[in-house]
Structure 1
Amino acid sequence: MLSLSDASRVVDEALKTAREMSLPPMTVAVLDVRGCLVSFKMEDGSSLLREQIARAKAWSALGMGMGTRTLMSRAAHHPAFFAALSSLAEGSMVPVPGGVLVRSQEGFVIGAVGVSGDLPDKDEACALAGIRSVNLVADPGAA
């Protein structure tokens, strides 16, 4: 189970990492395994769609059972399939890095983190830092 305490620490550490990297205002969403929002923060100055993008990145990872880095690679090879997925997901399928599965120490998926605000690789780096700060296993997927 992904606790509120752990999810809150993931968000705070992801934002701390973003500040250390001097990134623009960031948005971080943590979802539990059901896809329900557990913790969320949007820094002052974050642009309008960042909330939806961060949540969609986390939701995409959960929905497909793999990090959005892997989804990006698959989308490049199967664009028609991902167009259909986007339609089914009502636009909430975002196959770019920044959506990372969260696994328990035993390897079970317990949630996902989505980060938006900068380039996808930097978004993902913030998500990874947040997850690792609470001794959970980050699973961004492999390209």
Structure 2
Amino acid sequence: MMTSDQALIAVTQTLAKGREMGLKPLSAIVLDAGGHPLAFHRADGASPGRYAIAHGKAYGAVMLGMTGSQQMDRAEAQHYFMTAANGVFGGAVVPVPGGILIRDDAGAVIGALGVTGDTSDNDAKAGLAALAEAGLNGDA
């Protein structure tokens, strides 16, 4: 199980990792296994719309059990599937890297981290590094 303290560490460390990497201002959210927010943080200078994007990356990951990278691959191969899935979830899915599954030691999904603000690949790199700092297993 993921604690709210771990979720808070994950979002704050994501922003710190982004600064270390010289990225644009990041925003990060952690959702639990049911898709409910546990923690959110937006760096100074990040646009306010980043909440919805971070949420969409994490929400798609946790609700579909697929990383953002896997969702993007699926969208490119079978756009009709991702379009239909996004319709089922009210348009809330953002199927690109930066949607990171959080797994327990047995591999079960316990939540997701959504990161946005720089390139999607850089978002995922910062998020994975932050999850390690929080003692959580990330799958991007």
Q: TM-score, normalised by structure 1?
A: 0.94
Percent identity of paired positions between Structure 1 and Structure 2: 39
Summarize deviations over 1:31-63 as a string: whole Å, max 9, x none: 011111001101122113210000110000001
Q: 2:80, 2:6 → 1: CA distance? A: 37
Distance of 1:134 and 1:106 partners within structure 2: 17
Q: How many residues align?
A: 140
Runs of 5+ in structure 2 lacking a partner?
Answer: none
Contact 1:58 1:113 in 2 (8 A): yes
Per the alignment, residue 126 of structure 1 pairs with 126
Classify the secondary structure of the residue corresponding to 2:82.
helix
- Structure 1 residue runs of 5 or longer lacking an equivalent are none
> Which of 83-92 and 21-30 deviates more?
83-92
1:125 Cα deviation after fit: 0.7
CA deviation after TM superposition for structure 1 residue 134, in Å:
2.2
TM superposition outliers: structure 1 runs of 4+ over 6 Å: none
Paired position in structure 2 for 1:38: 38
Preserved CA contact (<8 Å) 2:6 2:135: no
Q: Does the CA contact (< 8 Å) of 1:57 and 1:93 recur in 2?
A: yes
Aligned 8 A contact 1:66 1:139 in 2: no
Does the 8 Å CA contact 1:115/1:127 hold for their aligned counterparts?
yes
In the TM superposition, what whole-angstrom CA distance separates every residue of 1:54-93 from its partner, at most 9, and x where no partner exists?
A: 0110000001101110111011010112112222211111
* Counterpart-to-counterpart distance in 2, 1:134 and 1:46: 23
Matched residue SS, 1:107: coil
How much does 1:103 deviate?
A: 0.6
Q: Confirm or deny: 8 A CA contact 2:115 2:124 kept in the other structure.
A: yes
